[in-house]
Structure 1
């Protein structure tokens, strides 16, 4: 068995979409001499998850036919109260929204981040160590003036503990308070994403787009967690309600991946889309 057939056979035993032999031949022939099979397999997996599933020649034709949504799903099932997918379907994410939060609330949060009023990841805290250095050594004034350094949260917490135990309790307490506030802000935004209900627009390998919404919480889905272009496997038995896919952990397998250009464009246009939706809601 040649390398492309070996790669296809290996991928067919996983949840990853199965590519065409022509695509695998191009992948295997791109480097000479060919790398080990395990390396090629990892490369194929990564490139598949970063690709557009609708790209011509990407997926094996038999796999695509057996892992796509029923034709005209939104129209044919619009009047059906409940149905189930008859087979596994692989889709990619085109949009994700937290419907548990109002769109205006999301607009305000994004505008606050643009003004620098929100918390983005870890907060950098500047600590002035001059006074603590002078108390420990009378001749260290010159060194202490240049010892101001930027600490991340771990360093800030350590400095706060040291300040609380010695004579710098006031400064240590302020640092600790700042860190606690930062942690509270981060955990607050994280918990809203964890506890939210998310609506997605997904697309199968034939280009059909449908809406999907969480019936039960799926941990890896959420704004800031899910990438645009990320691949999801919908297991056979996934519930369809009036043309909408209902997601639950038992039938939804998040495979990962991201289409970089799609995700960047989605991030850049998210605030404008939310404002437009808010305006449309007010007009109606």
Structure 2
């Protein structure tokens, strides 16, 4: 990795600021001493993470947030399942309190509950975050710009998440089609293809009503989703509360996806 210095550049040089502290989650997994317990792995690195406004998160609290209860924290690492070892490895990276966090395919082999906890943690993360992932839904939640590799050494910095990028690319394709249609219709009667209702002019009254209702419902669900995500940030949250919140968050996200899909379907019909 060029950023962390594990790989040397073919040319030029990389200058890293004196205050930059990298945290690097790789696909290689965790390596621990024989006979170590879960809590010992974390405490060997640090006892706590400093948070905003003078608060701090202890090693025990961090493990609890990532679903290791007090009893589980004193299990031997070799007894953990593959998924639990992934979670522990993630904790070893976060407990280092990096201000530049690099995550390489972090969602591989993580269950839904753990993913929700990680997403909530990262939403409150104050440093720089670079994520390499094939999980578009995970990226949509936590990233605010993309590096778009076009090939031939061309890399673009796009402001927005993956869905924003796809919508942007689709709008460019639509613009090109509109230009071709306009060129083909030159000399014919001109005028707006839309009536006063704009995009929804091709819809029936019931579809227009549903379209507006869906927009309101999606907006309310997004607010509900944000409130659930914020609840994960409570340092005193219990494993039982995490499980309950994760279930509610998953159900809310499913409702958002379903309603957004229907909203998009109506939008396409309006443009046909």
Superposed pair shares fold, TM > 0.5 = no
Question: Shorter-chain TM-score: which interval?
Answer: under 0.3
Structure number with the higher helix fraction is 2
Greater relative CO (CA pairs within 8 A, separation 6+): 1
Which protein has the larger Cα radius of gyration, Structure 1 or Structure 2?
Answer: 1
